[in-house]
A = this chain, B = another copy of it.
Amino acid sequence: MAIHPLEEILHPRAIAVVGASDSGGRGSGFLEPLIELGYKGHLYPVNPKYKEVMGIKAYASVKDIPGAVDYVISSVPASQVLGMITDCAEKGVKAVHLYTARFSETGRKDAADLEIEILNQAKKAGIRLIGPNCMGLYYPGERIAFSEGMPLESGPVGLASQSGSAIHEIVDLAVQKGLYFSKAISYGNAIDFNESDYLEYFAQDPNTKVILMYIEGVRDGRRFYDTLRRTTASKPVIIVKGGRGQSGTRATASHTASLAGSMEIWETMVRQAGAVSVRHLTELIDVAAAFHLLPPITGRKVGVAGGAGGSSVLAADLCEEAGLDVIPLPAEIREELKSQGSEIWDWIDNPADMSIRIDRSWAVGDMLKIMAANPNFDLLITFIRGHFHGDREKVSAETFLEQYRLDELGNKPLLAVIEEHRLRGNDDDEQAWIQELLEEVKAGLIAAGVPFYPSIERAAEAGSKLVDYYQRRESR
């Protein structure tokens, strides 16, 4: 297989940041995270106004840099881009990431014309473009980031997003679920590399297992469909479409100059291509966490345990409405409960309402264990609700999680619901302690391969989308 054109430019030995300054705005904004993450290649600030920027020697032009430069980040104004590309061409630069904006997305003809001229000039010079109007590359493995505070950890998630601010949000959400990225690329107006190139890249990237996309408009619909369909045969692709309605379409035009198109056609296309469609970034990460931690699931029969009263009833409703099948408790489980001497063997059902237990000696973990051993269930959902309150000496994340018997559930996929509003301390001090313990509980769940959600509907919807994908993949 030929090396992907993006693969060739994503391992730069030297990066020049054109328009770098100590101003504190975006001029320094690209240099700072590279320094912070410890980018190992050569780093060259370029700005004719300064001798040095952030303590690093600066150059007046890309041409003046003594060593080779393969990757340039441009934060100069739009009017200076053509000149900069000329310099890059002379220098033998392979790729330019244009943070520079105010092109076609402004809706102004002169700005759109300039964008085309830049593309033509870059093509002639053999320079590939990321953007314009985008944040570019986050690649923790190469220690490349575009904002401070982006995690140094790598992970199996690949992300291509037209919006850079969406990447910030997605990364923030992901980190809280223990999800990290192979690469994330913000690609803005996509005048050269477009959605299909980035998707194709992640499809062949061995470090990427789950692909996420935020797309406002597609440059080449036919190619995208084909690429998507090919990719989903081996990797899940989860897509948020921005600009679905009338007003959103207006907003995409001024954001990344995209034409949004009809949502019905889009949804049909995504479905037929075997990808997963979600409505917003929170759902994107909900579903990504399920794909990250759970094995392939191709059945919809769910067992629910750990709720009580009304919340058990609503859990059943919400699971069903998400497309899962809340089957009655299998007869052999009733028999097992009966043989264990349970008083409620003929009364307890699925969802297992823990408030009707008479004998408190068995807990939610016992029910989970019984459900996990039963082949009728394809997946399980449990509420994480035990009491954090009480004697702090005796409670740890470990003892807390023991009641769920996670190591006795075999390979049965489990999703957890942690309703944090139910786990509040009586004062600030206790609250801080619970918060800390909760972080450890979450880490414990991740380590046990259990994705967690703040509500039953979000758990059920994530689980159901996962099944959607594997069912469609299986039926191809």
Contact = CB atoms under 8 A, between A and B. Distances in A.
Interface of A: 106-107, 149, 161-166, 169, 172-173, 176, 214, 216, 240, 242-248, 250-252, 254-255, 279-282, 308-314, 316-321, 326-328, 346-351, 353, 355-356, 419, 421-422, 424, 426, 428, 432, 435-436, 455-457
A316 B250 contact: yes
Given A216-B313, A281-B311, A245 B321 contact: yes
Q: Which of A309, A319, A351, A457 has the most CB of B within 10 A?
A: A309
Q: Which 5 residue pairs are nearest across A and B when measured between Cβ atoms? A: A163-B310, A166-B310, A247-B326, A165-B309, A245-B320
B243 A328 contact: no
B255 A312 contact: yes
Nearest to A245: B320
Contacts of A421: 169, 172-173, 176
A176 B420 CA distance: 11
B169 A247 contact: no
A160 to B, nearest CB: 12
Contacts of A106: 347
Given A245-B326, A247-B317, 15 more contacts: A162-B310, A165-B309, A165-B355, A166-B310, A166-B311, A169-B422, A244-B320, A247-B320, A247-B327, A250-B316, A251-B353, A254-B353, A254-B356, A279-B318, A280-B455
Nearest to A241: B317
Contact of A244 (B245, B250, B321, B428): B321
A248 B428 contact: no
B166 A248 contact: no
Contact of A279 (B243, B321, B327): B321
Contacts of A356: 254
B317 A244 contact: yes
A33 to B, nearest CB: 14
Given A316-B250, A424-B172, A310 B349 contact: no
Nearest to A165: B309
Contacts of A314: 240, 242, 248, 280-281
Contacts of A327: 247
A178 to B, nearest CB: 14
A369 B20 CA distance: 35
Q: Which of A106, A245, A317, A355 has the most CB of B within 10 A?
A: A317
A355 B168 CA distance: 13
A455 B163 CA distance: 18
A475 B214 CA distance: 41
B316 A165 contact: no
A254 B435 CA distance: 35
Q: Which of A149, A214, A313, A426 has the most CB of B within 10 A?
A: A313
B166 A309 contact: yes
Contacts of A252: 313
A350 B254 CA distance: 11
Contact of A349 (B163, B166, B250, B424): B250
A318 B244 CA distance: 9
B351 A251 contact: yes
